[in-house]
Amino acid sequence: AQSVTQPDIHITVSEGASLELRCNYSYGATPYLFWYVQSPGQGLQLLLKYFSGDTLVQGIKGFEAEFKRSQSSFNLRKPSVHWSDAAEYFCAVARTNTGNQFYFGTGTSLTVIP
């Protein structure tokens, strides 16, 4: 069965500091992997996705993520966090055979302090 684990429920970083949000997945084959961001009361916005090819993917807003098959991980990183990055972040996986059903992690809430 597919599953996604985000071990950090809440992270607090200082503005300008680097950020890494962890995501581990469980899936038999190579999955499609995604990171979404959700601001309070809003829907989800796609930050980046991994489909195949280069394991380091670049996204919007200066985010990047690295797919590591050996660790079943897809961690999200940003070198310098801005106050506007405070939000909830969700990692998701989709099955490659259908791709239709997404499995989301429980999310990591990011707080940015000045």
> Should residue 111 be labelled a site residue for another protein when binding is judged by CB under 8 A?
no
DSSP annotation string for 9-38:
SEEEEETTS-EEE--EEE-SSPPEEEEEEE
Which range in 19-27, 56-64, 66-74, 91-99 contacts another protein by CB under 8 A? Answer: 91-99
Nearer to another protein, 70 or 100 (CB): 100
Measured distance CA(16)–CA(22) in Å, rounded? 19
> Should residue 101 be labelled a site residue for another protein when binding is judged by CB under 8 A?
yes
Please report where in the chains the tokens 């972040």 appear, as a residue: 89
> Should residue 24 be labelled a site residue for another protein when binding is judged by CB under 8 A?
no
| Residue 88 · residue 108 · CB < 8 Å | yes
Interface residue list for another protein (CB under 8 A): 4, 6, 32, 36, 41-46, 49, 51, 90, 92, 94, 96, 98-107
